[in-house]
Structure 1
């Protein structure tokens, strides 16, 4: 495969910084949108300067200046958006649609990867409120991309290890529990857990792959299809520490939504879909849409190895 010119939007974010690293590692000419909205965020600026030192190019652009976005997009063949949707729901939607407009106007982009990197929104039409907005907004962006006839790849990342593995999928901590663990239902519903760096590696592999053109690619290696109970056992084997298990029924779990703020209600809804419904594993993924099959050369991280960093 040839080398691409890639613009990463949201290059200092949780997944964005990993995508920048993957682009550089895979030898692509890497541009990062440097937004003047960065203001006085010294950590973000220093991260950008470190990427620049490693060979990335910083391109100034702002979402309040359409022309600057179009000019940034004209420099490249591929655009990857990794803006986080966690804090600003509809604000994020607005920015993504502005980016789609800029790509459409520039007219030169051979592949666009929008900010997805979670569950497949096309499979979440039944999702409950208020978390449903996450999926609805991603579908609005998809429709805009397809209406504009922009070549795309949608990358489904499933569960990031940092948020779901180290804490054995407990909602109130990022660290492994010491004494007891809450299991959702019987704890046997399978989910898919990924090392974030692997997600970035796979995403960047798709950008010039004709097999991934105008398709949804799932990062779901068979070894990473695990139940919550599997994760707990794995941690117990590694740590030598046995945890007391508390099961919570679906009704009791959903009752936790009462009195919570918007973000927590969204989180509870998403956890419900993953750990009670099995929304990540209750459909078939074709071999030519699964990243570890498409790119067998990538040595992806097992969750057993991922957990070792918490010992």
Structure 2
């Protein structure tokens, strides 16, 4: 059976570049949308050229040129959008509505994977606090457009990227591990999920020709990477050979810290609250509407956090 042709939108982004590589590695004819908005960003231009050298096809297209989107979509079987949904970076979630329109008009796409890759928005959207709920509301708007258009889909709930949540022991900032003191949310015993980004990309590509994931959510919850914050800190301490001073932050104090922050940081604080105080990555059982990645694809040797953190324990 021929492997599906894949178009990656946002292929030079944080998770997008990994998805492009995973698609090529798994033998899919891979197309990357080349947007003129890239302008003079030489690093992204060079990345696109490196993809081309590895066998990817560059396809010109722009969200400001609807016909170019339709033409790009007509060339493939599967569309994966990896545009940023993080407010601390560029936030482009609703741009996907034009992509949904293009997919509907083209009429040939057998699977669309929109830009999600975090917590399952269907479970949190109605509960999320302001101002962070904007992220989940916008993703639900895109989901509704996909389903109203009867476009086949797979949603990817990848939970916590290791580079953002494990490398710094889940501190709000910076992204390096703390040297002496670590902030612990509540008692530090709420479970979260930490996933290495290339594993996210590998699992994502695995789904696209798999009938078991059609019109479902793929939850990436590798069992050995379901950890509390304290367990994560303990793993780092063991590797580093030193103990950090723990500063425990009550729920009330954590929420109170929002008042003096700018909008972007308030969004981040509210998301951290849902993860580390309410446990929204793990406080539910996966039902018939979803599948768990490591169960479906046991051949993937996912990165355990002990292995991942060896690189940050120096």
Question: Which bracket does the TM-score occupy, shorter chain normalised?
Answer: over 0.9
Aligned residues: 311
Q: Kindly tell me: are residues 130 and 89 of structure 1, through their superposed partners in 2, closer, same or farther at Cα, counting changes over 3 Å? A: farther
Contact 2:10 2:81 in 1 (8 A): yes
In the TM superposition, what is the alpha-carbon distance from 1:286 to its structure 2 partner? 4.4
What residue number does 1:168 align with? 169
Q: Work out the CA distance in 2 between the residues paired with 1:88 and 1:107.
A: 35
Per the alignment, residue 303 of structure 2 pairs with 301
* 8 Å CA contact retained: 2:9, 2:82: yes
1:224 and 2:210 equivalent? no
The offset of 1:2, in angstroms, is 3.5
Match of 2:215 in 1: 214
State how far apart, in whole Å, the 1-side matches of 2:134 and 2:88 are: 11
Match of 1:132 in 2: 133
Equivalent position of 2:100 in the other structure? 100
1:116 maps to what in 2? 116
Give deviations 1:258-289, integer Å, cap 9, x for gaps. 12111100000000000000011100024960
* Corresponding residue SS for 1:140: helix
Q: Map 1:146-225 onto structure 2 (within 5 A).
A: 146-225=147-226
- CA shift at 1:94, angstroms? 3.3
1:61-72 alignment, distance < 5 Å: 61-72=61-72
**TM-score relative to the length of structure 1:** 0.98
- CA positional deviation for 1:87: 3.9
- Quote the offset at 1:89 in angstroms: 9.6
The answer to whether the Cα contact below 8 Å between 1:89 and 1:134 also exists between their aligned partners in 2 is no
1:2–1:208 Cα contact (<8 Å) kept: no
Give the whole-Å Cα distance in 2 for the aligned partners of 1:223 and 1:138: 28
Q: How far did 1:192 drift?
A: 0.4
Deviations 1:121-167 (A, max 9, x none): 10111000000010000000000000000000000010000000010
Say whether residues 1:264 and 2:265 are aligned partners: yes
CA shift, 1:90, in A, is 10
Q: 1:221 to 1:152 in 2, by over 3 A?
A: same
Taking the TM superposition and a 5 Å limit, the aligned residue runs for 1:76-91 are 76-87=76-87
Give 1:236's aligned residue.
Answer: 237
Per-residue CA deviation, residues 53-99 of structure 1 (Å, 9 max, x unaligned), is: 00000000011110000000000000000000224999623310000
CA change 1:169–1:88 in 2 (3 A) is closer
Q: 1:33 to 1:195 in 2, by over 3 A?
A: same
> Does residue 274 in structure 1 map to residue 287 in structure 2?
no
TM (normalized to structure 2)?
Answer: 0.97
> Any residues of structure 2 matched to 1:22-41 within 5 Å, and which?
22-41=22-41
Deviation at 1:306, TM superposition (A): 0.8
Q: Report if aligned partners of 1:59, 1:72 keep a CA contact under 8 Å in 2.
A: yes
